[in-house]
Amino acid sequence: MQFNILEVNNQKEFDEVVKELGKTAKTAYDMAFEYAKTLCPNKEVLAIVTDWWGGICISTEEYILKYSEKDNYEAHGIVMELISMGFG
């Protein structure tokens, strides 16, 4: 991924910079989620990670009980890796 330095001199250029930053952010988020999916050993872990990525709280007692202890442990490890990368 390449980052560009963009200079803003007027509203039109500002709008173009915002659009470019939006594209860059989308690419980064897409790449991070694709990477996270490759770490998931099964569909249950993938479901937990996907829920977290989508904004669902995965640390409530009710949610944790939906999956095995091992699946929760593995999913939370992946989530922590994503957080350490700046996503979350």
Overall pTM > 0.75: yes
d(C-alpha 21, C-alpha 42), whole Å: 34
Q: Which two tokens stand for residue 6?
A: 């963009």
Q: Which two tokens stand for residue 9?
A: 């001199």
Q: Return the axis-axis angle of helices 43-53 and 69-84, rounded to nearest 10°.
A: 40
Mean pLDDT for all residues in the chain: 93
> What's the pLDDT at 17?
85
Q: Give the mean pLDDT of 1-9.
A: 72
Residue 73: how many CB atoms within 10 A of its CB? 11
